Structure 1
Amino acid sequence: MVRVATHLDAIAAELAASDGAEAHARLADRTIETLRDIRDAAGPGDWAAAAVPAVRSHPIGALMQDCPLTRHAFARPRGYPGDAGLLDLIYHHPDAGDAVAAAGAAGRAAYAVTAGTAPCAAVRERRRILAAAIDRAAAERPGAAVLAVACGHLREAEISAALRAGRVGRLLATDQDRVSLALVAEQAHKLSPAIATRRLSVRDFIAAKATTEAEIGRFDLVYAAGLYDYLDERIAARLTRKLFGLLRPGGRLLIGNFLTGLREEAYMDAVMDWQLLYRTEAQIRAFAAEISEVDLAGIHYAADSGACVGYLELERA
């Protein structure tokens, strides 16, 4: 078994020999890199059973909780990982400003590193990709109907030119989190009268009890960006079929999922307690396994600019 304490003690010694915010920034970067090496050396079994508990009990693990992004992920204030408040910290959204200010100089220095990592950059790019998808749908179909699944705070709406210009006829924002939906409803008054909210979970969509065409209509664009990172393969395929069925002819379903091989995966797991289901391109393409080829007018896959998130776009015939 890899001696976790030995590696982290070395980082602690470096921190003790330094001072100021710059030292905490180096601490964050060194911790991310060291944990990746530890996980690679330990293997899956020893990593989960011994290494992760050792990291969390080490003083370095506690020091990294000064970072507001790390602390929010670990605390899970809404009871589940990857909530909309965490995304606001990644977006550097003004609504997260108080949490960042309260972190102190050391915490903010660490946050500059963690929020600057490739996965966080990918989340910010994902927001732009979603906004662009809304704009494209509205350009191709004026008055387009859009469905956002697991919408969080719907921050992509804030940067959608089409939504602000009134070219979107309807945007139904759905989530299981009442707090997120309340914020979206409040912001809708400022952004667009096209935005409406509805509390729906993955189970609701799969069961189709409250998500039939008669209940919520059909859409030109349906998207689910961060949701699939938490769904097993069976549920992911079933949900994809259900969401695809809500499309109008020629409509598109857009799904994102984090890819395997991220440098920061070990840090997210051990220090942030933020576990995702990382997938390959083939596994992401398999989301469409339950959809008949007869109904598919097109299928397109692309990774983002940093090769962190893979996107699957399905077009209905």
Structure 2
Amino acid sequence: MKLSNEPLAYLQQIIKNGGPEAPQYETLNRVFETISAEFKAGNISAEELDALQHGFGGHTMDSTILGHVRAKPFGYAGDFLIIDKIYREHVSADARFEKWDSFWHGQPACKAVRNRKDYFIRTITQALRKQPCLQLLNVASGPARDLAEVYADIEPQRLRTVCVEADQHAINYARELNEAHAAQVEFVHQNIFRYHTTMQHDIVWSAGLFDYFDDDIFIKLLRRFMAWTKPGGEVIIGNFSDQNPTQNFMELMGEWYLHHRSTAALTDMALQAGAERSAIHVGSEAEGVNLFLHVRV
């Protein structure tokens, strides 16, 4: 391992102290950036990195945010439960790891996920100010806490939602959260590539799916979403920005990999999918870490 002793010693001291205090976050992030750069340069082996990762507490960290991300209990990164833990700013009941959960929740990527929920709520409520009723298709709906919060703030009969989700565990969880508005929400257990519908929607929304796809799949799926959208309606796709400051930490410590994209890249893919340039807009949440491709049909 060619990494200098200084950043490693700093990290080891943080681990020994049970995690970082808030004033140490910036320095610790720089340490993770250094480790990531050294790993990508081949100066740290996979075995050495694995030993470093296990230095946090190994399987005993499973109750923490980072432990959940690394364990992938549902078989994939970014599962519904980790997203809801981020929404709720869940902190482990194990006092040994409280500081690490607080550190994770303070990262720009986690703030962006929470902001993503707010962006969804704002988008739906603003749309309902312009028209009496909405038909929403929510793809890869996950925990659907954002949906439950929307329904709590509106006249429920004004919003009809179809949620397409590949994970039955996520559907069970989301159905319970949305039990009060079950008459307005339909859950479809289906891989989106096998899903077919003749219904058209006012809004087709998918916030946490497309950044797992390469460009070709992104474009192909966007075309399908556009076909499922009413004339005058809108497709809205969330994607992590290529300016995500948490990217290296997510990849290094959580093996959580995404296709990060720029505003220009998202615009170009919308054009390739057949959208008119005048119908394309890219927004972002407050951190600027989650981008949202809007395509008016």
1:38 Cα shift?
Answer: 2.9
Change (3 A) 1:13 1:299: closer
Aligned residue for 2:203, secondary structure, equals strand
More helix by share: 1
In structure 2, relative to structure 1, the CA distance for the partners of 1:290 and 1:118 (3 Å cut) is same
Q: Measure how far apart 1:31 and its partner are.
A: 4.2
Cα drift, residue 101 of structure 1: 4.3
1:247 to 218, 226, 229: 229
Deviation of 1:187 after TM superposition, in Å, equals: 2.9
Give, in whole Å, the separation in 1 of the partners of 2:4 and 2:66.
20
| Structure 1 position 164, deviation (Å) | 4.0
Q: Distance in 1 between matches of 2:19 and 2:92?
A: 17
Q: Distance in 2 between matches of 1:303 and 1:126?
A: 9
Alpha carbons of structure 1 residues 136 and 292: separation in structure 2 relative to 1, 3 Å: same
Distance of aligned partners of 1:191 and 1:259 in 2 relative to their CA distance in 1, 3 Å threshold: same
Which residue matches 2:81?
85
TM-superposed deviation, 1:188: 2.8
Q: Does 1:110 align with 2:100?
A: yes
Alignment of 1:140 onto 2:140: no
1:216-295 to 2 correspondence within 5 Å? 217-293=199-275
1:86-139 per-position Cα deviation (integer Å, ceiling 9, x unaligned): 01111116xx5xxx443x123111111111111101000000111122222322
1:308 aligns with 2:289: yes
Matched, 1:121 2:111: yes
Q: Which moved more, 1:1-10 or 1:280-289?
A: 1-10
- Secondary structure of the residue aligned to 2:193 is helix
Contact 2:220 2:273 in 1 (8 A): no
CA 27–55 in structure 1, closer or farther in 2 if over 3 Å, else same? farther
Measure, in 1, the Cα distance between the counterparts of 2:145 and 2:206: 13
The CA RMSD measured in Å over matched residues stands at 2.8
Secondary structure in 2 aligned to 1:87? helix
Distance 1:168 1:53 in 2: 55
- Structure 2: any 5+ residue segments left out of the alignment? none
Q: Which secondary structure state, in structure 2, belongs to the residue aligned with residue 46 of structure 1? A: coil
Verify: 1:196 aligned to 2:190, yes or no: no
Q: 1:302 to 1:87 in 2, by over 3 A?
A: same
Contact 1:137 1:220 survives alignment (8 Å)? no
Counterpart Cα distance in 1 of 2:157 and 2:278 = 25
Amino acid at match of 1:9: A
Give the corresponding residue for 2:196: 211
Q: Distance in 1 between matches of 2:114 and 2:146?
A: 10
Match of 1:154, as an amino acid? Answer: A
* 1:161-198, Cα deviation, whole Å (9 max, x unpaired): 57642253410011100011122223332245211100
C-alpha distance 153-249 of structure 1, shift in aligned 2 (>3 A): same
Name the TM-score, length of structure 2 as normaliser. Answer: 0.88
> AA paired with 1:265?
Q
Contact 1:24–1:110 (CA under 8 A) maintained in structure 2 = no
Number of the residue aligned with 1:207: none
Question: Could you state the TM-score of these two structures normalised by the residue count of structure 1?
Answer: 0.83
Residue 7 (structure 1) aligned with residue 3 (structure 2)? no
Q: Which residue does 2:48 correspond to in 1? A: 54
